Structure 1
Amino acid sequence: MASAARLLPMTEVTFYLSSKVGEGVRQALAWRIADKALKQGRQVYVHCQNEAHARQLDAQFWQSPPTGFLPHALSSEGQAPVLLGFGDDPGHQHDVLINLSDGVPDFSSRFQRVAEMISGDEAERQQGRERFRFYRDRGFPVTTHELG
């Protein structure tokens, strides 16, 4: 009798949409989603555009919001429940990916969940539409949440 192949669950993709425009909107959304995931006991990898972006986000996560704390680290400098990284290797992470890059990371399908942050900026919305089509055209289950 042939053994059945073990099917891995399909990566779930959620787009979080904000009507707010301005620098830092996507980063603030990322903090909010990472905090929620952390409270659910999940491990989070925040994929940044490049090293400078990861370091900027690291500084921002230490400063705001003033009433909250999100245990995080740069993936190249340590371990934490929330890792900030860039490039092609998210390490051993495979739970929640928060994508802050302009494209779809090659490794996104190895995560259980992917969160895409979209602000009200028209250029960001257009890039978000392209990522949405990428996921949808490859059969990923995609949902959207309007956050105001």
Structure 2
Amino acid sequence: MGAVYFYHLTRRPLEAVLPQLLERALAQGWRVSLRARTDAMLDRLDDALWTDPPDGFLPHARDGGPQDAAQPILLTLGETVPEGRDCLICVEGAPMAAAEVAALARGCVIFDGGDAAALAQARDQWRALTGAGVAAQYWSEESGQWQKKAER
């Protein structure tokens, strides 16, 4: 069974943090599914991944194309993780189920600490996933660097 890591954004926006997390996942040899709730968010992330890091881009595509299975990073609104994915990253309060995490190497929930609704949603996800027996870690960047604050 995989674990889920919760990333509480307090200093930097999602577009600044996400490329770093994706680079780490790709360095592990993982294929990533990045799930959001809205097309507008996927548009923002698609643009950010083409321009950051400044010296290149992170190979990715939006789902629904003929080469989805070959994409290292697949951006999606879908509620199922495509076969062959090792990591699921959820943003914008997108759902993540315990059964999904069990089939993955890693699940990640990234949320904006300045948004009360996002914070409440992340707390609900933490309770649901840990209540279902999923191993979880909570990371915060409030000190300026990522620090693990809790683990279950």
Which TM-score applies when normalising by structure 1?
0.79
Higher normalized strand content (fraction of residues): 2
Q: What is the match of residue 58 of structure 2?
A: 70
Letter aligned with residue 135 of structure 2: P
Q: What is the match of residue 7 of structure 1?
A: none
Q: Is 1:108 matched with 2:86? A: no
Q: What is the match of residue 39 of structure 2?
A: 51
Q: What is the match of residue 28 of structure 1?
A: 16
Structure 1 residues 15, 39: closer, same or farther in 2, change over 3 A?
same
Residue 138 (structure 2) aligned to one of 115, 138, 144: 144
The Cα offsets for residues 79-100 of structure 1, whole Å up to 9 and x where unpaired, read as: 3211111122332243011111
Q: What is the match of residue 6 of structure 2?
A: 15
The Cα offsets for residues 44-103 of structure 1, whole Å up to 9 and x where unpaired, read as: 110111333223311221122323421111121233211111122332243011111414
Return the offset for 1:41: 1.3
Q: Contact (CA 8 Å) 1:55, 1:74: kept in 2 or not? A: no
Which TM-score applies when normalising by structure 2?
0.77
Residue 86 (structure 1) aligned to one of 64, 72, 77: 77
Structure 1 residues 48, 138: closer, same or farther in 2, change over 3 A?
same
Return the offset for 1:132: 0.9
Q: Percent identity?
A: 27
Q: Contact (CA 8 Å) 1:103, 1:131: kept in 2 or not? A: no
Q: Contact (CA 8 Å) 1:98, 1:115: kept in 2 or not? A: yes
Aligned length: 136
Q: Which runs of 5+ in 1 are unaligned?
A: 1-9
Runs ≥4 residues deviating over 6 A: none
2: CA distance between counterparts of 1:128 and 1:18? 11
Larger radius of gyration: 1
The Cα offsets for residues 6-54 of structure 1, whole Å up to 9 and x where unpaired, read as: xxxx221111223226xxx224322221111111211111011133322
1:121 partner SS: coil
* RMSD (Å), alpha carbons: 2.1
Q: Contact (CA 8 Å) 1:50, 1:87: kept in 2 or not? A: no
